[in-house]
Amino acid sequence: MGLVGGEENKNATENGVSGSEFPLGSKTKYKRMESEVVDTEEDIPLTKKNRNTRKYVFACAIFASLNSVLLGYDVGVMSGAILFIQEDLKITDVQQELLVGILSIISLLGSLAGGKTSDAIGRKWTIAFASFVFQTGALIMALAPSFEVLMIGRLFAGVGIGFGVMIAPVYIAEISPAIARGSLTSFPEIFVNLGILLGYISNYAFSGLPVHMSWRVMLGVGIIPSVFLGFSLFVIPESPRWLVMQNRIEEAKIVLTKTNESESDVEERLAEIQLAAGMANAEKYEAKAIWNEILNPNPAVRRMLITGCGIQCFQQITGIDATVYYSPTIFKNAGIKGNTQLLAATVVVGFTKTVFILVAIFLIDRVGRKPLLYVSTIGMTTCLFGLSLALALPGNGKLGIGLAILTVCGNVAFFSVGIGPICWVLSSEVFPLKLRAQASALGAVGSRVSSGVITMSFLSVSRAITVAGTFFIFSVISALSVAFVHTCVPETKGKSLEEIEMLFQDKGEWQSGEVEMGDAERLVQKA
């Protein structure tokens, strides 16, 4: 997207225009930011092409996010299925922790390979490959006759998830207009939450089947989304930024024509992408050179890594996956009895998590990333502390049960309205084109490792210091995330990807979130 186009989008957002409504094609013109703004905006009727363009971009974001349903479904369904697996296969607590947590750890292999794979075969086919690997794992798990075979399927599923969580936000960010990029890049998180809710519902729906069959049906149903993903490959295009990196300029222009409303926008954005990609191609950035720049960063790249990777880690170390995976354990500790009642309570959690992610999508391009992050992290801190108190109440009873359900629902609600979706938005926005795939992969690795460590240690830590003590520690970590947001996260609302890169070139700009439009040449020279 051109720098002028990016500022037009920024102005539209600041005047309260809905990001989800894709208000593109503004005629507003600008001088440099410190100069007087000249507004010549005219009302443009919504033409058939405008509507078709918006629908097309919206559809692409939805289809690219289908892999996230698989991740969410696995997380949600395993929380209940583990109760029946434990009874059927007679697995120990340590095996239970390993089965739950290994998916996050092994997914780092997919995330590490995802950056190079997406640069080699493209963003679109990496999404397809991720789905294929995950579905192979899901099928093996559904048919597993033993714990060992179940673990093999879990390993395949983890690799597929690693690819999926890394590539979907990158792809969506690269095809989206700046004014709607926050909402669209949040789609994977919406679908994760939808998958979690479907997993919880599956637990409840199939809990009445015989023990040896119930968990297999629960896991097997997760294969269904792959059918829709197969159809999506006939709809979604390749990323125009990847096509330019491959010198397939005409193909990139065709894609931009489908995702932008005017020919002038297409030309501006194509020129800007070529400008950003030209340096990377001219200097022949091989994978080794890219990783060298990431591992030995200059100050600007270091700030990008702190923001992009740091937000990924804080998303997980505040204990969200432990809350989701082990919600039946939490509610059992609070005093709820019986598997059916436990699974019914988790459905309430899943519904809450899904509803509030929709709130985030509505607000993310209106109020900005940083205000939502403040609300999210402060709210999570309060709820996690409240949950620790609820679980510490002597004798539990109705008060303890009610407070536990309320605080768990509050925690997932605040997570979904801020750090949950915005984590992926920021990690796909803050890195320059030549580093984006590999750096996003590194951030995804941090997320998956953090998730794995938390989920694989939750039961053991809870036995050592109680479940209440564990959630008190999570509340302290969540309080630290508030400070991280304040010091390390700039506002990126309404800015093009190239403008966001400029924020990190200078520490003052990074903190203030402002960038001047006349600095496109300096952007490329410093990148």
Question: pLDDT tens for residues 65-121?
Answer: 887 888 788 878 888 888 889 888 888 888 888 888 888 778 777 877 887 888 888
CA nearest 110: which of 73, 71, 57? Answer: 71
CA nearest 40: which of 11, 14, 20, 16? Answer: 11
Domain count, the chain: 2
**Eight-state DSSP code of residue 262:** S
CA–CA distance, 205 with 197 (Å, rounded to integer): 12
CA–CA distance, 82 with 92 (Å, rounded to integer): 11
Residue 255 falls inside a structural domain: yes
pLDDT value for 24: 38
Same domain assignment for residues 116 and 218: yes
Same domain assignment for residues 406 and 468: yes
H or E element in which residue 315 lies: helix 299-317
Residue 199 falls inside a structural domain: yes
Cβ(300)–Cβ(439) under 8 Å? no
Same domain assignment for residues 200 and 341: no
440: Cα separation from own chain's centroid: 11
DSSP states along 376-440: HHHHHHHHHHHHHHHHHSTT-HHHHHHHHHHHHHHHHHHHHHTHHHHHHHHHHHSS-HHHHHHHH
Same domain assignment for residues 308 and 246: no
CA–CA distance, 56 with 134 (Å, rounded to integer): 27
Residue 106 falls inside a structural domain: yes
pLDDT value for 178: 64
pLDDT value for 518: 40
CA nearest 207: which of 196, 215, 197, 219? Answer: 215
- State the burial class of residue 321 (Cβ atoms within 10 Å of its Cβ: 0-12, 13-18, 19+): buried
Same domain assignment for residues 317 and 202: no
Same domain assignment for residues 103 and 245: yes
How many residues make up the chain in this entry? 527
Same domain assignment for residues 329 and 403: yes
CA nearest 182: which of 449, 386, 373, 397? Answer: 373
CA nearest 365: which of 429, 306, 273? Answer: 429
pLDDT value for 16: 41
CA nearest 6: which of 21, 20, 26, 36? Answer: 26
Residue 167 falls inside a structural domain: yes
- State the burial class of residue 466 (Cβ atoms within 10 Å of its Cβ: 0-12, 13-18, 19+): middle
* CATH number, residue 131: 1.20.1250.20
Same domain assignment for residues 180 and 100: yes
Same domain assignment for residues 194 and 76: yes
Task: Provide the residue range defining the domain that includes 158.
Answer: 48-279
Same domain assignment for residues 372 and 414: yes
Residue 456, amino acid: M
CA–CA distance, 245 with 230 (Å, rounded to integer): 26
**Domain C-terminal end among 235, 253, 279:** 279
**Eight-state DSSP code of residue 176:** S
CA–CA distance, 11 with 28 (Å, rounded to integer): 9
Residue 418 falls inside a structural domain: yes
Cβ(408)–Cβ(319) under 8 Å? no
- Averages of pLDDT over runs of 10 residues in the chain (527 residues) are 39 40 38 38 51 82 83 84 88 85 80 81 88 87 91 90 81 77 74 85 88 89 77 83 87 84 76 70 57 81 88 91 85 81 86 86 84 94 94 76 92 91 81 78 79 87 92 96 90 76 66 43 39
Residue 6 falls inside a structural domain: no
CA nearest 302: which of 511, 525, 507, 119? Answer: 507
Cα dihedral sign for 516, 521, 523, 526? negative
Residue 417 falls inside a structural domain: yes
Residue 522 falls inside a structural domain: no
Q: Residue 67: helix, strand or coil by DSSP?
A: helix
Cα dihedral sign for 279, 283, 287, 292? negative
Same domain assignment for residues 303 and 179: no
Q: Residue 146: helix, strand or coil by DSSP?
A: coil
Same domain assignment for residues 261 and 308: no
pLDDT value for 507: 57
How many of the other CB atoms lie within 10 Å of CB of 115?
Answer: 28
pLDDT value for 428: 75
